[in-house]
Structure 1
Amino acid sequence: MGKRLFRIRSGEVAAQVGSLVGTEVDLILTSNRTLHGRLLEAALPTVVLRDNIGHRHTVAVADIEEIIYDRTSAY
C-alpha cells in the first residue's frame, strides 16, 4: 500500500480545515515556516496543532499558505 499526498491551498483552507481535525498535517505558513503535527482544533479563525514533542501551536488561518497531508491509497 502506498500513500498519496493532498494539498489544500490558502484559498481553500477555511472551508476544508474542519475535516482534518485529528489528522497529521504539515502547515506551511506565509512566513515560509513549516509546522508538522496533529491538528487538534479548527475553531476559525485559528487552528491548534500539537507537534511531535507535545507543544501546542495556535495559528491564524490567514497565516496558512498551504496544508499538506497524506492518506493511504488502495494501490
Structure 2
Amino acid sequence: MGKRTLRIQLTKPDQDLGSLVGQEAHVITWEGSTFFGDIRFASNSTLTIEDKNITRFNRRRHRHHVALTDIREIIVDKATKW
C-alpha cells in the first residue's frame, strides 16, 4: 500500500466508524469482495457504501449494506481525517 493510505482493521465489532461518513473508501470483506465508494451511513452493526459509478455507463448509485462482522478492513486516504 502507498504511504497516503490508512488501513483500518475492524478488531471490535462495536467499533465507532461515524467519523468515516462522507469519505471515499475501499471496503474489503472476509470473502474477498471489495466495494469502492462513499460511506453514507455507519452504525454499530452495518456500514452503507454508495458506489462511484461512471455516469456514461450507469447513472444509478448503488448502495451496499455490509455487516461489520463481514468486513476485513477499510482503506481510506490519510489526507482525510479519521
Q: Same fold (TM over 0.5)?
A: yes
Of Structure 1 and Structure 2, the greater strand share is in: 1
Q: Which residue of 2 aligns with 1:57?
A: 64
In structure 2, stretches of 5+ residues that fail to align are 54-60
Q: Higher relative contact order at CA 8 Å, sep ≥6: structure 1 or structure 2?
A: 1
Q: Which residue of 2 aligns with 1:66?
A: 73
Larger radius of gyration: 2
Deviation >3 Å, runs of 4+: none
Q: How many residues are aligned here?
A: 71
Deviation at 1:13, TM superposition (A): 6.7
TM-score normalised to the size of structure 2? 0.76
Q: Residue 28 of structure 1 aligns to a residue in which SS? A: strand
Q: Residue 36 of structure 2 aligns to a residue in which SS? A: strand
What percent identity do the matched residue pairs reach? Answer: 38
In structure 1, stretches of 5+ residues that fail to align are none
